[in-house]
Structure 1
Amino acid sequence: MKKHVVVFDMDETLGYFQNMGIFYYTLQNYIQHQITFEIFCKLIDLYPQILRPKIFSILKYLIEVRRTTKLEIMIYTNNQGPKEWVQLIKNYFEYKLNTEIFTKIIRAFMVNGKVIEPKRTSHNKTYKDLLRTTRIPKEAKICMIDDVYYDGMENNNVYYLHIDPYVSSLHYTTMVDRLIDSKILGTLNKKHLLKNMTNAFAGVKFYEKSDKTHEIDIIVGKTIQIGLQEFFHEM
């Protein structure tokens, strides 16, 4: 049986996690204690707009395919956040779908000048680095799903789904309002929390999204699933 590997980028592919990361770590500093994984999941659930539309359908489809196919699902990221951040996102998806999904995380080559993934050779994503970090056999058929196109991933065994980046228009003031109303962390001082968030988000750009843009995001999600079906059929 042929081995298939589906490789997801994380940021702007699985979802828009940049602002959620700023919010999460600012919130953790504000309450002055570690946020549990249970609370982390509740926070993500509060802000479903950060997840790419149809991503759960896509992952459920792959889980189903894996039942009858020799398939691995991985994350290949250049995320510059703390090491735990990518792990939290991975664990969230697996918690929601109640199964292990991702067998491997290939992390950023370097963060703040420190090598994080020693078997990578650069920030560019390459076919050779992917094989080196994962020990995928050379004959494996790979589907790469990323909002950035990396020339180094070009290979006869790679089926590349170059997709539109997903961004969320969710503003931190809305995130604070939802958090306060949810009581997930009990009673919080809205004025003080907003002040902390305003400082943390200084200089961060927020995107306005039209209904048409949202419709395009849904279409892209459907396109990913169609592309995956073609990948398994053709390769």
Structure 2
Amino acid sequence: MKHKMIVFDLDQTLGFFDQMVYIINQTRAEIYAPLFELFPEIFRPQLFELLHSLALLKKNKRVNGIVLYTNNRNEDFVKQLIQYIHSKLGCSLFEPVLTYHSPERTTREKSYHDLFSCIKDGNTHLFCFIDDKYHERMNHVDIYYIRSEAYQYILEEKEVNTRIQKTIPGFKSKKRNLPMKLHKRVTEYIASKLRDFMNR
């Protein structure tokens, strides 16, 4: 009988972290846990209840392990985020953590080949892979693929500043967060320029 392992993506699967990176840069924080605590909305709703139940399955040896498999390039952010999750759960859940820069990876795309080679006796396991994106190279008979809806939660800039100012007196935002309408216009601009390029 094959052992079971659960594999999670990070960004927009466990949570939405784009705005948090902006906040970290604005505050110049070196330790991120207080900011994670200040903005619980970055995590998918009921995430910690789900992870707690998986920690029990791991403890009772019903699953052989819980893996984090991410293409996030910010190693320090990923490390501190996982430490925070583990501290909230009271146990180490994600082992191993496979990042964009993991030396065992042979491609920057997620693939069952890399996953199997990064896990001891990986080809003797059944995997449940949870990601908000479709990764063609993750299709395999031993992988049960759950494609989740992408999680996004963007706090209003005023709310972000109010919370930070209560924690860091005297904090002033150094630059305004771009409103979503402007983000959309920038995307439309990029798309129009790409069309121009393709029509050359």
Same-fold status (TM-score > 0.5): yes
1:75 corresponds in structure 2 to 68
Counterpart position of 1:12 = 12
Q: Is there any run of 5+ residues in structure 2 with no aligned partner, and where?
A: 184-200
Q: Does 1:154 align with 2:139?
A: yes
Shift in alpha-carbon separation, 1:170–1:205, aligned structure 2, 3 A: farther
Once the two structures are TM-superposed, the CA of residue 172 in structure 1 deviates from its matched residue by 3.2
Structure 1 stretch displaced more, 169-178 or 6-15: 169-178
Cα distance in 2 for residues equivalent to 1:76 and 1:26: 28
1:46 equivalent in alignment to 2:15:
no
In structure 2, distance between residues paired with 1:23 and 1:62: 30
Deviation of 1:27 after TM superposition, in Å, equals 1.0
Among candidates 67, 72, 87, match of residue 95 of structure 1: 87
Give the residue type in structure 2 aligned to 1:84.
D
Query: What's the secondary structure of 2:57's corresponding residue?
Result: helix
| Cα offset, 1:159, TM superposition | 0.7
Q: Matched residues in 1 for 2:6 and 2:182: separation? A: 31
Counterpart residue type for residue 79 of structure 1:
N
Could you tell me how far 1:129 is from its partner in structure 2?
0.8
How far does the alpha carbon of each residue in 1:47-93 deviate from its partner, in whole angstroms, 9 at most, with x for none? 11111011111101101111222421111111132x11101111111
Q: What is the CA–CA distance in structure 1 between the aligned matches of 2:88 and 2:38, rounded to whole Å?
A: 14
Residues in 1 aligned to 2:17 and 2:42: alpha-carbon distance in whole angstroms: 6
| Residue identity matched to 1:3 | H
Offset at residue 171 of structure 1 (A): 2.7
**Separation (CA, whole Å) in 2 of partners of 1:80 and 1:204:** 24
CA distance in 2, matches of 1:152, 1:20: 30
1:188 aligns to what?
170
SS in structure 2 at match of 1:119: coil
* Structure 1 unmatched ranges of 5 or more: 29-33, 109-115, 208-235
Offset of 1:170 from its aligned partner? 1.1
Which residue of 150, 166, 173 corresponds with 1:165?
150
> How many angstroms apart in 2 are the aligned matches of 1:3 and 1:150?
23
Structure 2 letter corresponding to 1:35: E
Change (3 A) 1:93 1:144: same
Q: Tell me the equivalent position of 1:137.
A: 122
AA aligned to 1:65 is L
**Is the Cα contact below 8 Å between 1:145 and 1:163 reproduced in 2?**
yes
> Normalising to structure 2: TM-score of the pair?
0.82
Alignment-derived partner of residue 179 in structure 1: 164
What's the CA shift string for 1:140-189, capped at 9, x where partnerless? 010100000111111111011101000012133321111112x3x3x224
Q: Mark the CA change 1:160 to 1:46 in structure 2 (over 3 Å): closer, same or farther.
A: same
Query: Is 46-55 or 62-71 further displaced after alignment?
Result: 62-71
For 2:98, which of 101, 106, 118 is the aligned residue? Answer: 106
1:35 has 2:30 as partner: yes
Q: RMSD in angstroms over aligned alpha carbons?
A: 2.1
Q: Residues 90, 153 of structure 1: CA spacing in aligned structure 2 closer, same or farther, 3 A cutoff?
A: same
User: How many equivalent residue pairs?
Assistant: 182
